[in-house]
Each structure stands twice: as structure tokens, then as C-alpha cells.
Structure 1
Amino acid sequence: MKMNKLGLVGLALLLTGCATPPPKDPENLCNIFKENRSWYKAAKNTEQKWGVPVHVPMAMMYQESSFRHNARPPMRYFLGFIPYGRASTAYGYAQAKTMTWDDYVRENNRSWARRSNFADAHDFMGWFIYKSHQVNGVSKWDAYGQYLNYHEGWGGYRNKSYNAKPWLIQVSRRVDDRSKRYAAQYRQCQKDLDRSWLWRLFFG
């Protein structure tokens, strides 16, 4: 059966509507989670599963995608107008590269996971932070060191490849600063966020 143009438009709108838009106030972790309660549930699941504090992957994700589900590196152009591909295979909320994502999927038996799904991308970041702690001994609370691992890979971090990239060190410091701000904000609203949906229904 052929789908008419109206049906195709409706399907496109439906699929587009399924994507969660970036939060209205990405500078405030409390407001992010109040706007998207399912994101908080995903962050808590990551915390419980990987022992990763809520604020670290959120600060890293802000830097990577600004919380856009379909973020990817810009297209490169030959002679300024002929497209010839993107700088990397990074995609989604976590800007996970295809090869690293495939390792995550294989190790955790998550063949259904998608980089454009917030919960999946957040779990991926939790896994990566956990592995960085295992492989390179970087604290899960150290957003600065964790972001350097995330950007350079575990081998690159061990070889201190970031020392040749002063811009990356600056970016990692920004991630660390944001992580600390998120942590301070989270301390102010965690109790409220942890309340049951029933409590919020009657008293929220």
C-alpha cells in the first residue's frame, strides 16, 4: 500500500516530535532535570550502575552536544563548496564515535542502544568514565581528567597527547568548572528531584 503525501508528512512530524529538544536552561542542572524528569531517571540509573556522579557526565554532554540528540561534527568542504565528509563519526548526545560506541554495545550486550537516545548516551558516558577510572586511574569525580580521556582516548591520555593541544586543556577546564557548578546546583534540588511522583502530584 502506497502512503500519500499527507501521510508521509504526518509520519515525518511524528518522528520529529519524538526527539526531545535541548533544555531551555542548560546552565542549571536542576532546571534541566525538572524539565525532563526522564533524564534524571537516566542519570540516576547511570550513577547506580557505574558509580558515576550525576554532574560529571552531564557537564561532559553539555560540552559535546549542547544536549542535541542529533549533534555531529560539521561537514568538511573541498574548495569551500564540495562536501567530502565529516571530521569524525561522532554522533548524538554524547558525540560517541562509531568504533567506541560499538565497543560499548558489544561489552554490555546493548544492540538496541542508540546514540540519539538520551538514556543510552548517558549510560555510554557512565561506562566510559568507569573505564577511564579502571584503565588510567582517573577519579570518576574528576571532570577535567575524565574529559581529557574522553577526547583523547585511554592511550592518548596515557601518552599525554593533550599537552600538545592547549585549546583542549582550556576546554577541559571549562568542563570541570561546569561540573562543579552543576554539583553545587544539584545539592540544592536533589531532595526534591528524588521525591516520588505521587508527592509531586499533591504537593509539587
Structure 2
Amino acid sequence: MKRAILAAAVLLSLGACASNVRQPDNTENACRLFAERRDFGRAVMASEQKWGIPAGVQLATIYHESSFRGNAKPPRKKPFLFIIPRGRISSAYGYSQALDGTWDEYRAGPGRGVARRDNIHDAADFIGWYMAGTSRSLGVSPDDAYNQYLAYHEGRGGYSRGSYRSKSWLKSTASRVERRSELYQLQLTACR
């Protein structure tokens, strides 16, 4: 009997972990996304309150960084001798695709050492924290999804140096982030 109870508890906890990283079905409409996954709504709205970064900017960033998959990872490097697997092209992970070093910086501050990149609450708080820092240090408006995304992707130093200028693919992605952010904001205004 004790074994059966223990096994059930383990299965329930594994199911809870899996649901935390499961991609939602409704990622095109912010209202439907929040209705399907209330934890996403609570996380993004709490981050907006705390850091002043609009929900639409955060959602568009998550959409383009991880497609709302909590366990998202970048692709692997090309295999050595075409068969031997190698590491990933970067240390990015989770909803926010935060790199190890930047995530460690966040965990040493507002993340309190326990934040996880595959937790939507922590990921939304990270995005809000990072973009609020970009607003303070670089003067990028919190609702300027285009430039916030460029600085998020390239890092503040890279953005300051203009590293994105020679990357037409990245500027195109930033434009898509901007359009999606505007769409999400309109949707959220309609369903609030």
C-alpha cells in the first residue's frame, strides 16, 4: 500500500513538471493563451506590474525565443565527422532562452538563486528584469518591442555597438516581434 501511494505521488509530481514545460495550444491569441494556461497570464501580468514591461512585449519575446516551450534549447553544433554529436550552439534554455551567464546574474539578484528557466513565472520575471534594465541603461522605451528585442537578443553591449546592423535576419525577426507585440496588446485590451 505504501509503495502504491509513493508511486502515485511520484507520477503526479512528474506530471506537474511536464505540464510546466508543455507548449500551450493557443499561442496566436493572448486571451486564449491566458484562458488555457492561467499560470502564463499570472506570470506575465505580475512581471508587467513589477518591471513595467508590457505583457505584449514579453509574450512576443517568449513566442519568438521558445515558441512557449519551457524546455526549448538551441540546435546542436554540426556533428564531428558527420556522426559524433557535439554541444549546443549556445547555453540558452527555457521559455526566455536566457544564456547561462545572464541567468546567473538574474539568480544572484531578483531570482534569489532558485529561479528556473523552465518555469514561466521565473522566465517572465527575467524578461521583465532584463528589459527594465535595458530601459534604464540604454534609454529604450519599455513598449518599444523592436529595440527591446534587439537588445535582448544581442545583449546590451552588442546592441550598444550596433551588432544587429549587419544582421538582416535579426532585424526582420525584431519586426515580427514588434508586430506580434502590438497584436497581443490589442487582444489583451479586448479581453481584460
Alpha-carbon distance in structure 1 between the residues aligned to 2:46 and 2:12:
30
Alpha-carbon distance in structure 2 between the residues aligned to 1:184 and 1:172:
18
**Alignment partner, residue 170 of structure 1:** 172
Is the deviation greater in 169-178 or in 109-118? 109-118
TM-score by length of 1: 0.85
2:58 pairs with 1:65: no
Q: Which contiguous aligned blocks of 4+ residues in structure 1 show a shift greater than 4 angstroms?
A: none
**Alignment partner, residue 121 of structure 2:** 119
TM-score by length of 2: 0.90
Structure 1 runs not aligned, ≥5 long: 191-204
Alpha-carbon distance in structure 1 between the residues aligned to 2:111 and 2:93:
20
Structure 2 runs not aligned, ≥5 long: none
Percent of residue pairs identical: 46
Q: Structure 2 counterpart of 1:136, which letter?
A: L
Rg: which structure is higher? 1
Alpha-carbon distance in structure 2 between the residues aligned to 1:10 and 1:90:
31
Count of residues in correspondence between the two structures: 186
- Secondary structure of the structure 1 residue equivalent to 2:31: helix
Cα distance, 1:79 vs structure 2: 2.7
- Choose which of 85, 95, 98 in structure 2 pairs with 1:93: 95
Q: For the aligned residues, what is the CA RMSD?
A: 2.0
**Alignment partner, residue 139 of structure 1:** 141
Task: Specify which structure has the higher proportion of strand.
Answer: 1
Alpha-carbon distance in structure 1 between the residues aligned to 2:11 and 2:152:
34
Is the deviation greater in 16-25 or in 132-141? 16-25
Alpha-carbon distance in structure 2 between the residues aligned to 1:109 and 1:60:
19
Q: Structure 1 counterpart of 2:70, which letter?
A: H
CA-to-aligned-CA distance 1:34-82 (integer Å, 9 cap, x gap): 1111211111110111011111011000000001010011122223221
**Alignment partner, residue 201 of structure 1:** none
2:186 pairs with 1:184: yes
**Alignment partner, residue 199 of structure 1:** none
Alpha-carbon distance in structure 2 between the residues aligned to 1:94 and 1:184:
22
